[in-house]
C-alpha cells in the first residue's frame, strides 16, 4: 500500500499545519483545523497529468456511445424511481436522514430483494448481527432468508475492505458512515476528517471494483450535517429519507444524482412489516379528508417530476395572551407571514388578534410558493367559517399586491388533479400560452387572491340549500 501521513488543514483559509491547532495562525478561526490523509507517492511523477489514465483521449461527441447507463434492476419501484431507474454498478450513493427515520430498514429491505440475484455485503457499525437478523426475519415474514446476504458488524475501514476482498460483493452497504474509521487518523469516528477519508476510500472501491456502495449517514434536524454535507461532493448520488417521525409517510428524495433526475421523490409508508411503497401518494394523502369542513383546501405541489395533491388545513383562533402566534407545520414560516399580511391588507381580514395554524396533512414539507393560494384559502375559510369547494384544487403563488402568479408545470399539476376526480381548479390567469390544460377539469382563472377566494369559498346561500 502507498505510504501516507496525516496533516491538518484549516477549513477557512486552507493553511496547512503538521499538528493540530485550536486557532488557525493565518486567519484566526477557531476549531477550523481538520485532519487529512496525504498520499506520499503520487500516482504519477508529473503532477500535471496526475489522475489521467491511458483511456482518456478527446473524441468527437457524435462518436461517443450514448447508451443509457447499465443498471441493476431494483424490484422496489419507488426506490428505483428515485435512483433514476435502478442501481448503477460502481456508483456510490449516500442515504441520509434523521436518526430513527427508517434508513436501516430501507437498506435492509433493499438488500433482501437484491440478494435474490446478487451478492450483498451489509456492514453495520450500529447494530449487532443478531439484531439485524431478527429485523430481517420480521421483514420477510417467515420467508426464507437469502444466502447471498452477508452480514458483519465492523467499524474499521481497513478490515471492511478486507472483507470486501474476500466476499467480492456486487453491493456493499455501510451503516453508517459516522461509525467507520481508519486507524491512520487520530480523530474519532464521525469527525469530518474520518467521514471524508472513509468515504473517499469507499468511492475508490466502488470505481475500481465495480461494486455499488450505499452509505448511510445520519443528519440532524438542526442541519448539523458536518458528516453528510462533506460527503455530498464525494458521492454520485445523495438521497434523503424524510418525514415526520410521528406520521407513517416517508419520502425518499434525491438531491443530487449523476445518473438521473434530481428532486425525484419516492413515497413509502412505515408499517409493522417495514416500509411499504405508496404508488398513489395523492390518494393516500387525501384519504382522511373531511369534505366540506371549513379550513381545508387541496394544493398541488411538484415533488421532482411528480405532482402531489395534499390537503392543507388552516385554523384561526382568537389570541389568548399577548402576541398572536403563527404556527406552520409543513410550510415555511416566512411564507405564512407574507400570506397573512396579504390577507390582512388586501382582503381586509382582521387577523392581527388571531392565532393562525397551518398544517400540511401527511407530514409533507412544502416549500413551493405554488401552495400559497391553498394556504391563504385555508386560513380565510377557517376565519370566515365557510368551507372551500370540496371538488376544487387551488394553485398559485401570491404576490405582495395580492396578485396571483403562475407556477411552473401547470398542465402536469392539473392532470393529476383530474385523475383524482377533482372537478375544478382555481388558478392564476394565464398570460402566456403554455402547454394546454387537460379537458376534464374546469379551469377557473383568477387575477388576484380576492377573485380566487370569491370563487373558492362556497357561498352562504348554496350552503343553506344543502
Ligand atoms: P431504522 O431503520 O432503525 O432507522 P434509522 O436507521 O434511520 O435510524 O428505523 C427505526 C424505526 O422504524 C423504529 O422507530 C421502528 C420503525 N420500524 C417500524 O415501524 N416497522 C418496521 O418493520 C421496522 C423494521 C422499523
Ligand atoms: Mg440505522
Full domain range(s) for residue 231: 70-279
Could you tell which of 106, 270, 277 is best to mutate to test the pocket of ligand 1, judged by most ligand atoms within 8 Å of the CB?
A: 270
3-state SS assignment for residue 94: strand
Residue at 49 is within a domain? no
pLDDT tens string 285-337: 888 788 888 999 999 999 877 899 999 999 999 998 888 999 999 999 999 99
91 and 156 share one domain: yes
- The ligand 1 atom at the shortest distance from the C-alpha of residue 101 is 7
| Model pLDDT, residue 1 | 54
400 and 432 share one domain: yes
Percent of the chain at pLDDT > 90 equals 58
1-5, 83-87, 208-212: least confident range: 1-5
133 and 241 share one domain: yes
Ligand 1 centroid–CA 104 distance in Å is 7
| Model pLDDT, residue 219 | 76
Residue at 55 is within a domain? no
Q: Which DSSP helix (H) or strand (E) runs through 150? A: strand 149-153
- The ligand 1 atom at the shortest distance from the C-alpha of residue 138 is 22
For atom 23 of ligand 1, the residue with the nearest CA is: 274
CATH number at residue 75: 3.40.50.300
pLDDT band at 463 (very low <50, low <70, confident <90, very high): very low
Terminal C-alpha separation, the chain: 81
pLDDT band at 68 (very low <50, low <70, confident <90, very high): low
- The ligand 1 atom at the shortest distance from the C-alpha of residue 274 is 22
Using an 8 Å Cβ cutoff, are 219 and 228 in contact? yes
Ligand 1 centroid–CA 218 distance in Å is 14
Q: Which DSSP helix (H) or strand (E) runs through 336? A: helix 333-347
Final residue in a domain of this structure, among 252, 279, 306 = 279
pLDDT tens string 8-28: 988 888 889 888 889 999 999
Of 244, 225, 247, whose CA–CA distance to 94 is shortest? 225
pLDDT band at 373 (very low <50, low <70, confident <90, very high): very high
407 and 334 share one domain: yes
Ligand 1 centroid–CA 273 distance in Å is 10
Residue at 232 is within a domain? yes
The ligand that comes nearest to the alpha carbon of residue 125 is 2
C-alpha span between 331 and 198 (Å, rounded): 36
198 and 82 share one domain: yes
Ligand 1 centroid–CA 252 distance in Å is 15
| Model pLDDT, residue 63 | 80
C-alpha span between 360 and 328 (Å, rounded): 8
Residue at 181 is within a domain? yes
For atom 2 of ligand 1, the residue with the nearest CA is: 102
Higher pLDDT pick, 154 / 33 = 154
Ligand 2 centroid–CA 427 distance in Å is 43
Using an 8 Å Cβ cutoff, are 425 and 388 in contact? no
What dihedral do alpha carbons 333, 334, 338, 339 form, nearest 10°? -30
Using an 8 Å Cβ cutoff, are 169 and 150 in contact? yes
222 and 287 share one domain: no
Residue at 53 is within a domain? no
| Model pLDDT, residue 460 | 55
3-state SS assignment for residue 313: strand
Answer whether residue 442 shows pLDDT above 80: yes
pLDDT band at 464 (very low <50, low <70, confident <90, very high): very low
According to DSSP, the β-strands at 424-428 and 442-446 are parallel
Ligand 2 centroid–CA 217 distance in Å is 9
What dihedral do alpha carbons 149, 152, 158, 159 form, nearest 10°? -110
Residue at 271 is within a domain? yes
| Model pLDDT, residue 280 | 85
Residues in the ligand 1 pocket, defined by CB under 6 Å: 97, 99-105, 135, 270, 272-274
Of 376, 390, 370, whose CA–CA distance to 462 is shortest? 390
For atom 9 of ligand 1, the residue with the nearest CA is: 102
pLDDT averaged over every residue in the chain: 88
According to DSSP, the β-strands at 92-97 and 16-17 are unpaired
Instruction: Give, in degrees to the nearest 5, the angle at Cα 223 between 6 and 179.
Output: 45
Question: Which residues partner with 5 through β-bridges?
Answer: 38
| Model pLDDT, residue 35 | 85
C-alpha span between 74 and 79 (Å, rounded): 8
Final residue in a domain of this structure, among 258, 279, 300 = 279
3-state SS assignment for residue 305: coil
Residue at 410 is within a domain? yes
18 and 160 share one domain: no
The ligand that comes nearest to the alpha carbon of residue 179 is 2
Could you tell which of 97, 98, 102, 126 is best to mutate to test the pocket of ligand 1, judged by most ligand atoms within 8 Å of the CB?
A: 102
| Model pLDDT, residue 67 | 65
26 and 141 share one domain: no
For atom 13 of ligand 1, the residue with the nearest CA is: 100
pLDDT band at 2 (very low <50, low <70, confident <90, very high): low
153 and 275 share one domain: yes
Ligand 2 centroid–CA 100 distance in Å is 7
pLDDT tens string 180-205: 999 999 888 888 889 889 999 999 99
> If you average pLDDT over residues 83-90, what whole number do you get?
91
- The ligand 1 atom at the shortest distance from the C-alpha of residue 175 is 6
| Model pLDDT, residue 187 | 86
Answer whether residue 466 shows pLDDT above 50: no
Ligand 1 centroid–CA 102 distance in Å is 4
Answer whether residue 206 shows pLDDT above 80: yes
Answer whether residue 229 shows pLDDT above 80: no
CATH number at residue 428: 3.30.230.10
- The ligand 1 atom at the shortest distance from the C-alpha of residue 245 is 14
Residue 400 CB burial class (10 angstroms; 0-12, 13-18, ≥19)? exposed
In the structure, ligand 2 is a single-atom ion and the residues with CB under 5 Å from it are 104
Instruction: Give, in degrees to the nearest 5, the angle at Cα 53 between 49 and 59.
Output: 100
User: How many domains would you assign to the chain?
Assistant: 3
330 and 356 share one domain: yes
20 and 90 share one domain: no
C-alpha span between 11 and 169 (Å, rounded): 36
**Beta strand extents in 197-305 (DSSP E only):** 212-218, 237-242, 249-257, 265-271, 274-277, 296-303
C-alpha span between 442 and 404 (Å, rounded): 18
- The ligand 1 atom at the shortest distance from the C-alpha of residue 108 is 2
- The ligand 1 atom at the shortest distance from the C-alpha of residue 127 is 3
Answer whether residue 47 shows pLDDT above 70: no
Of 338, 464, 448, 458, whose CA–CA distance to 396 is shortest? 448
The ligand that comes nearest to the alpha carbon of residue 99 is 1
For atom 8 of ligand 1, the residue with the nearest CA is: 100
104 and 25 share one domain: no
Residue at 61 is within a domain? no
Could you tell which of 94, 96, 97, 100 is best to mutate to test the pocket of ligand 1, judged by most ligand atoms within 8 Å of the CB?
A: 100
Higher pLDDT pick, 224 / 412 = 412
Ligand 2 centroid–CA 131 distance in Å is 11
Amino acid at each position: 500500500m502507498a505510504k501516507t501521513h496525516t496533516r491538518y488543514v484549516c477549513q477557512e483559509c486552507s493553511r496547512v499545519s503538521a499538528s493540530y491547532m485550536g486557532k488557525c495562525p493565518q486567519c484566526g478561526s477557531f476549531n477550523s483545523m481538520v485532519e487529512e490523509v496525504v498520499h506520499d507517492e503520487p500516482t504519477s511523477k508529473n503532477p500535471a497529468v496526475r489522475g489521467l489514465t491511458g483511456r482518456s483521449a478527446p473524441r468527437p461527441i457524435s462518436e461517443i456511445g450514448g447508451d443509457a447507463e447499465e443498471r441493476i434492476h431494483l424490484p422496489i419501484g419507488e426506490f428505483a424511481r428515485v435512483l433514476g431507474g435502478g442501481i448503477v454498478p460502481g456508483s456510490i450513493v449516500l442515504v441520509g436522514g434523521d436518526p430513527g427515520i427508517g434508513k436501516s430498514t430501507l437498506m435492509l429491505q433493499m438488500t433482501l430483494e437484491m440478494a435474490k440475484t446478487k451478492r450483498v455485503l451489509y456492514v453495520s457499525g450500529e447494530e449487532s448481527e443478531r439484531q439485524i437478523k431478527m429485523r430481517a426475519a420480521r421483514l420477510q415474514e417467515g420467508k426464507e432468508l437469502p444466502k447471498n446476504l452477508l452480514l458483519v458488524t465492523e467499524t474499521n475501514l481497513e478490515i471492511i475492505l478486507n472483507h470486501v476482498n474476500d466476499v467480492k460483493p456486487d453491493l456493499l452497504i455501510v451503516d453508517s458512515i459516522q461509525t467507520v474509521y481508519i486507524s491512520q487518523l487520530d480523530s474519532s469516528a464521525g469527525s469530518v476528517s474520518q467521514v471524508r477519508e472513509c468515504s473517499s476510500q469507499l468511492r475508490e472501491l466502488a470505481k475500481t471494483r465495480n461494486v455499488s456502495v450505499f452509505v448511510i449517514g445520519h443528519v440532524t434536524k438542526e442541519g448539523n450535517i458536518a458528516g453528510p454535507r462533506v460527503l455530498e461532493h464525494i458521492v454520485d448520488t445523495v438521497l434523503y429519507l424524510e418525514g415526520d417521525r410521528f406520521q407513517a409517510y416517508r419520502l425518499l428524495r434525491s438531491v443530487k444524482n449523476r445518473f438521473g433526475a434530481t428532486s425525484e421523490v419516492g413515497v413509502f409508508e412505515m408499517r409493522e412489516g417495514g416500509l411499504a411503497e405508496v404508488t398513489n401518494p395523492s390518494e393516500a394523502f387525501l384519504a382522511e379528508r373531511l369534505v366540506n369542513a371549513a379550513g381545508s383546501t387541496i394544493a398541488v405541489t411538484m415533488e421532482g417530476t411528480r405532482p402531489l395533491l395534499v390537503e392543507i388545513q388552516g385554523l384561526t383562533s382568537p389570541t389568548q395572551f399577548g402576541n398572536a402566534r403563527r404556527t406552520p407545520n409543513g410550510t415555511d414560516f416566512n411564507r405564512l407571514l407574507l400570506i397573512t399580511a396579504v390577507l390582512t391588507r388586501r382582503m381586509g381580514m382582521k387577523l392581527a388578534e388571531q392565532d393562525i395554524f397551518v398544517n400540511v396533512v401527511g407530514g409533507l414539507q412544502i416549500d413551493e410558493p405554488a401552495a400559497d393560494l391553498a394556504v391563504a384559502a385555508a386560513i380565510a375559510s377557517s376565519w370566515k367559517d365557510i368551507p372551500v369547494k370540496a371538488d376544487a384544487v387551488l394553485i398559485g403563488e401570491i404576490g405582495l399586491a395580492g396578485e396571483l402568479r403562475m407556477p411552473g408545470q401547470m398542465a402536469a399539476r392539473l392532470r393529476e388533479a383530474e385523475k383524482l376526480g377533482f372537478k375544478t381548479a382555481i388558478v392564476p390567469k394565464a398570460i402566456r400560452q403554455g402547454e394546454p390544460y387537460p379537458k376534464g377539469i374546469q379551469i377557473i382563472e383568477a387575477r388576484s387572491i380576492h377573485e380566487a377566494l370569491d370563487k373558492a369559498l362556497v357561498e352562504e346561500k348554496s350552503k343553506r340549500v344543502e
